[in-house]
Structure 1
Amino acid sequence: MADVATPPAAQKATANGSAPQGKQQIVKPDKPDEEKYKEELAKLEKEHAAAQEKLNACKAKLDNAKPNNKDSPNAKRQQELKTELNAIRQTQQGNKSGRNAIFEKIKKLDDQLKQQLAELKTAKGKSNYKSVEEVDQEIARLQKQVDGGMMKLVDEKKALAEISALNKARKNFSGFDAQQKKIEDIKAQIAEQKKLLDDPENKALSDKYTKLQTELDALKAEQDEAFKNLRTLREQTDKARAEQQEKYQARKDLKDAYFQQLRAYKTYESEARKIRFEKRRQEQLQYVASKRKEAASKRLEEASTPAYGDEIIAAEGLIRHFDPSALPPKETTAASKFAASAQRTVDESGLKGTRISKKDTEEESYFVGTGGKKGKKGKKGGASSAPAKFNLNIGIIEELAKVGVEAPSSQEDIPATVEKLKAKLAHWKEDQDRKTKENIAKAQKEIERLEAEEAEEEASGSTDAARKPAQKNQAVNGNASAEAELTQEKDATADAAEDLKKASLEDKEAAADA
């Protein structure tokens, strides 16, 4: 199996770091779980808020317990309550003179009421009956007994005397009603005076005063209780502060760990992306450079070939075709010892017939017409009576057009055509060396231009290594620069070459394993 190559990022880290034993292995950091982080952060935020609230409460109690601490909330509230109570007392002091007169009048009426009630009670105490109805019922009962005639004379006199006494008592009950009415009048006067005292504004002030005084007493009691436990409150405050700092540090550690891991992940991804883009760019440059070198070598090889080679061969062939004696015969190369030889010989003694030579075949390829038949009389002497027509093969015409010589229209034009071909042939052979050097110079100049472009591309680079490619390399609004499209096509070619290369390597590895 082939060895696994170390990734570029690992190579870079190995080169920068010290690894005494083997290569340093770079481990890709894991991407932090954002949902888990948010859940844990919310939990720690809640715990920290509760600890902060507890600390604030302890600090408030401690401030209240400190003596002569005018800035504490308790002391400030006490001062506010005292100010309001003083204002209410001043308002009530202004209304005190009028209320005193009312109180004096109520007192006099109350004395009169008590006197009338005592007199009425004394008068009623002398009678055995509580109301006029009871007296009337007793009188009716006694009168009925007297009217019945069943009583003794002594009892009847006694009953009549009692009836007379009851009638007098009945008259006294009428005086009770007058006294009761007088008592009710006194009560009504007292109620009127009390209404004057029951002013809504005065009552509201009184209620407010009572409420504020109650709150002030509670604050004083709280301050006194806190002052007694001052040391305990300080210990509670220190404990609450330590708990708050612990929750704060836990939240801070969670945030620091999350963002540190996130930065490490992003840094690794960024570096890996840069390395991939740089590797791709270098491979692309190498591929393009190899293609350019190959094209330059081919172009230089073509330029080094003697100039006018095809034209000279075509011209010589045409001259030999029209006038075989105009040029010396072609030199035949000596047979090489490495040339292939016939494996068997053919005995021609048994063959019958006439052998057709190559020359006869070539001559038959050209046709000299006779102008057609002209009756029976021209059948015998047709060759001498009709002029011959001149025809050329289409291949010969194309060769003449290639060398720039007009095709002859008759047999008489052939010598002139041959002279033109000889003149061109002489010119080409004479100018061949100069033209060859000129072609080599042009090819060398083109190679230098391509090498300069290659150096410029290596210096600038054509691949976007950033997260967002440049606008010119994107088809924004349907338009992209021609240069960018060409560069991206080259990149695509490089990618395809890289894939083919990898596939070839994999095939070789598989063959090696087999």
Structure 2
Amino acid sequence: MPPPTASQKPAPKLNGKTDKPVPAAAEHEEHSGKPDQNKYNAEQDALNKEIAALKAKQDALRSRIALTQAPKGDDRRSQLKAEMDALRGEQGKFKTERGKLFDEMRKLQDSVNKKIKDVQAQRQKTGFKNVAEVDARVAALNAQVESGTMKLVDEKKALQEITMLKRARKTMEASGSSDEAIAADKERIEALKKQLDDPEAKKVSERFDALKKEMDALRAEGDKAYAERNKLYDERTAISKQMDDLYARKRDAAQAFHDAKDKYYAKQQAIRQARQERFKAEKAKEDAARREEEITQMREDAKAPAYASEIEDCTILINYFAGKYGVGEVPATSTEKKATTIAGVKAPEVRQVTSDFAGMQLKKKDDELDGWFAGSGKGKKKGRKGASATGSNAASGTATPTAPAHADSVNLPMHLLSALLGFGISPPTGKDDIARAVSDLETKKAWFEANSEQKTKDEIARVEKLVAKMQKKNAPAEGDDEEVESEEAKDEPAAAAEAEAEKTEA
């Protein structure tokens, strides 16, 4: 797969349009035709202020002219008169209610005065102010009678006085209820007085006075305007003409601004469209070139003989088994030969697996430790000697086989074993089984060689179908590129003429 082209990489957004910075002169030329929104707003605001001032004068003139004419149903004087009539009706209702309140207050006041006189007369007869004083006097007389110190005549007088006081007490209790009634009547009178000070009635009265004052002012102004009504008509006509001129200027300015704005945005749209078309054409061209590279690579890969690596692996394995076992270096398979080198990059160092460890016996951890920790006992001289030898070998980094390998065993390197298993052939169990493995490998190799040519043709046919599809994609891209170039060639004189016209206008 070829590396990504420049069109597939994220480009820096310098001006939000393309990956190339736009010069300052070109940017100024591109935006020079845009109408100034602030200037347009200021012009419209100035016209609106003039229109508002003239409209205020016109409304004032209409009001003064209306005063010289007979009142209509919707003018201010008719509204004031209707509201004043409604207020008069409310004032009459409030006046009737106040009369009723005054009558009720008069009756309550007479009742209170009569009750007060009756209570005062009753208290003057008894000589006591309240029931508590009567009870205190009765208690004192009872105490004197019960003490037994009084004379018979005095005791009779005391008993007669007690009887009289008890009667007076009943009378005073009745007068106490009269006091409560008097207090209730006084509270009712105060409540009625508060109703006389009704805030609604006061508000209606104040509103009526304000309307009457406004009506008088309108009448005076109407009398004055009637004397100069011809002059008012002339002023109204002049103001109407000025307002018509201002509205016409406002409409013309708005139309010119919108036309310039539409022209500017249409121009910007055309520029953006042309830029997008150029970008699409460049990208299509780059994609077509990339596809051509892919087509070339695919055709080269398809022409390579099929099963070449498999045939090579079979040959290597057959030669390996045919040679002397365990002598010389092991041949490398095609899997290892596939590694490619890149210019300027150091080739990776791959560790080579050798057969030095063939037949080596793995030791346990305890056996290894015996070699390092050899004792000084006399009875273990033989063990120490063997241990020191093992330790020296371990320290030198070489593996010494502890037991000789079986004479008939076959040990294959890992990469050869992987290649053999990849063909679905079981590895030989011994030297007697090598002939079977070689026969299977020759059968596989013969099949690969017999089918290599047909497989290569099939691969070429398959690649050619893909190439046809990719070439169909390249055809429209080439046509679009030619169209864009022709359109740009046509637009160049028009763009130059438009730029020259803008410079002339500026």
TM-score normalised to structure 1 length: 0.37
TM-score normalised to structure 2 length: 0.38
**Higher radius of gyration, 1 or 2:** 1
